[in-house]
């Protein structure tokens, strides 16, 4: 695995030495960032189910202002820290060891995320749980990207989230969601 573009382009990332972690392929990461390109510079990003940290490190490489990595596995948390160090990243990030579905992962200053990228374990229930965990973290300006198995189609809506786009690559798919009108609208300028 390597960083595809930006100031850290070409840096290699350490991969997990244990079973059960499914890193997002370079090809799928490139697809994600082709879509996110106009939004990434200066963005506040949440990399949920962060695994190796590749998504968040790619975002930092491409100019994100801050990335919050959320990962429950302590081995993966250490792996993310090693990958950040390996790439020479010393600031503009936070690593939170927690299960995304068990925590509200707002930045300490209360600012909401511009982009949330989630890569939960594959399965319809995990996809549903990930959408439910992301919704309270979103404003009407947040774009949510969820990687999921192509065999488990993303729901067209989930709470106040609406599916706006789906891309497939091999056995994986990317679902893009935005927040629809709700009581949160009054929070918007």
Q: Is residue 66 part of a domain?
A: yes
14 inside domain: no
CA distance 87 to 39: 22
Q: What is the pLDDT of residues 151-179, one digit of tens each?
A: 999 999 999 999 999 999 888 999 999 99
Domain that holds residue 51: 26-182
For position 82, which CATH number holds?
3.40.50.150
pLDDT category of residue 185 using cuts at 50, 70 and 90? very low
Answer yes or no: is 115 within a domain: yes
Within a domain: residue 136? Answer: yes
Q: How does pLDDT run across 61-76, given as a tens digit for each residue?
A: 999 999 999 999 999 9
Of residues 64, 69, 68, 59, the one with CA closest to residue 43: 64
Q: What local confidence, expressed as pLDDT, does residue 104 receive?
A: 60
In this prediction, residue 2 carries a pLDDT of 86
Domain-embedded: residue 103: yes
pLDDT digits (tens, 9 = 90+) for 49-62: 999 999 999 999 99
The first and second tokens of residue 36, run together, are 């996110």
Collapse the DSSP code of 69 into the 3-class scheme (helix H, G, I; strand E, B; otherwise coil) and give the result.
Answer: strand
Number of domains in the chain: 1
Does 102 map to a domain?
A: yes
Q: Quick one: which of 101, 25, 31, 114 has its CA closest to 70?
A: 101
CA–CA distance, 177 with 161 (Å, rounded to integer): 6
The Cα-based distances of 30 to 45, 75, 131, 142, 180 in angstroms read 16, 25, 22, 20, 27
The residue with greater pLDDT, 38 or 18, is: 38
Residue 163 located in a structural domain: yes
pTM score: 0.89
Stated as kind and residue range, the H or E segment containing 147 is strand 143-149
Mean pLDDT of 13-32: 79
Whether residue 183 has pLDDT greater than 90: no
What is the spatial distance between Cα 25 and Cα 1, in angstroms, rounded to a whole number?
8
d(CA 137, CA 188): 14
Residue 126 · residue 152 · CB < 8 Å: no
In-domain check, residue 12: no
């Amino acid at each position: 695995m390597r960083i595809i573009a930006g100031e850290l382009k070409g840096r290699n990332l350490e991969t997990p030495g244990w079973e059960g972690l499914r890193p997002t392929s370079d090809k799928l990461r490139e697809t994600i960032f082709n879509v996110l390109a106009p939004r990434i510079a200066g963005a506040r990003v949440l990399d949920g189910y962060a695994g190796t940290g590749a998504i968040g490190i790619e975002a930092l490489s491409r100019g994100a202002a801050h990335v919050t990595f959320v990962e429950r596995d302590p081995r993966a948390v250490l792996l993310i820290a090693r990958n950040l160090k390996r790439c020479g990243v010393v600031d503009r990030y936070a690593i939170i060891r927690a299960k995304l579905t068990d925590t509200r992962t707002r930045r300490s200053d209360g600012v909401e995320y511009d982009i949330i990228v989630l890569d939960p374990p594959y399965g319809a229930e995990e996809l549903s749980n990930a959408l439910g965990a992301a919704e309270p973290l979103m404003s009407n300006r947040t774009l949510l990207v969820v990687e999921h198995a192509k065999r488990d189609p993303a729901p067209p809506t989930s709470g106040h989230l609406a599916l706006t786009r789906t891309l497939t690559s091999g056995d994986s798919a990317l679902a893009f969601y935005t927040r629809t009108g709700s009581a949160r609208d009054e929070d918007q300028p």
